[in-house]
Amino acid sequence: MLLCFWLYAVMPASDMIFAFGAIFVLVFPTGKQAMAEAKERSLATVYGTIAALIVLAGIAWIGHFAVLLGLIALAGLFFGTRMMEGAQSSMVYQYARSVTVALVATALSSQSPAYPAIMRILLTVTGAIAAAGLVGVLDTLFLSKKAAKETAPERQRI
């Protein structure tokens, strides 16, 4: 929540899509799962950014709306096949697809196409790692003590 409030306070209104992305906080039962999700989201952001740059390069070369739709469809087809056959989990490619569409839409509606890509990568990587680290710290501070108290009677019965 602090990340969302900070983003709403410092970002211009045209970049509020990034603040919406911060709503998807990494909350998992353990710090290891949160770190794994942070890694997947960071990797998906990089994949999606690369695909968006390829789509934007194609649009810069041939600036027709039909080409834009075709390139977006090809990116979706690529990520769809990678979901079935890729080395990463399917969620990486699904999130990469949404990153691609969001970055292309933001870049085409703004005057600085590189700015949304850089901000998306920085906010995802720093936000995901910070959220996962905070979950790990809270897990260590609160859940470990509680779990130890709850499992202690079970150990005595065995």
* Predicted local distance difference test score (pLDDT) of residue 55: 92
| Half-sphere exposure of residue 130: CA atoms within 13 angstroms, side-chain side | 13
| 96 domain residue, yes or no | yes
| 52 domain residue, yes or no | yes
| 17 domain residue, yes or no | no
* Predicted local distance difference test score (pLDDT) of residue 73: 93
| 6 domain residue, yes or no | no
Percent above pLDDT 70 for the chain: 70
Average pLDDT across the chain, whole number: 76
| 152 domain residue, yes or no | no
| 23 domain residue, yes or no | no
pTM: 0.66
* Predicted local distance difference test score (pLDDT) of residue 148: 45
The domain total for the chain is 1
- DSSP E strands in 2-157: the ranges are none
| 27 domain residue, yes or no | no
Per the structure, the complete domain to which residue 102 belongs is given by: 35-142
| Half-sphere exposure of residue 91: CA atoms within 13 angstroms, side-chain side | 7
State the pLDDT confidence band at 105, using cuts at 50, 70 and 90.
Answer: confident
State the pLDDT confidence band at 157, using cuts at 50, 70 and 90.
Answer: very low
Lowest mean pLDDT among 49-58, 103-112, 143-152: 143-152
